[in-house]
Amino acid sequence: MMTGAVNIRIQEADFDVAREIAALTQGRKDIGAVVSFSGICRDGEGNEAISALTLEHYPDMAEAEIGRHAESAMSRWPLTGLTVIHRVGRITPGENIVLVLTASAHRQAAFEAAEFLMDYLKANAPFWKSEEGAKGKSWIEARDHDDAAAARWTKS
């Protein structure tokens, strides 16, 4: 049995989803399912238009924490591999922010692991977004429902 590949990158540059999927599946014939989630910058909420988001992060901790959760996903579900790419820096509406890819023989593991990773990234990954809007630059506030979503993966 081939060992799984965990790919984690934090970078300013954009990513190409098709290329990342190809990298995850290359050379393997045992993958029956690849699930892909892309988080994309929107241009605002309701009446509040934004011109850009800026992502700040805590580098050492982000890598350590995402790595821990990736390893947790690999041991909890039968995955052949996974990829997490989180962009940082200034991002404008329409641009990619985050990518989660999971690969498995069957779809249930791929879907569940992708959701687990995204719920973690939303609630506990050390990144902070500020937005530029008509009123200037302001920090985005965390939402309670992200914490609740992440909590449901905790084993009892």
* 114 binding other proteins? (CB under 8 A): no
> Which residues within the stretch 15-74 sit at the binding site for other proteins (CB under 8 A)?
39, 55-58, 60-62, 64-65
The interface region with other proteins, picked from 22-30, 71-79, 106-114, 137-145 by CB under 8 A, is: 137-145
Write the DSSP symbol of residue 12. S
* Nearest in space to 9 (alpha carbons), one of 85, 73, 69: 85
Q: What is the closest distance, in whole angstroms, from the C-beta atom of residue 89 to other proteins in the complex?
A: 13
Q: What is the closest distance, in whole angstroms, from the C-beta atom of residue 148 to other proteins in the complex?
A: 13
E-strand ranges in the chain read 5-11, 33-40, 44-45, 48-57, 79-87, 89-91, 96-104, 127-133, 136-139
Residue 135 makes CB contacts below 8 A (sequence gap 6+) with none
* 12 binding other proteins? (CB under 8 A): no
> What residues line the site for other proteins (CB under 8 A)?
39, 55-58, 60-62, 64-65, 86, 97-98, 118, 121-130, 139-142, 146
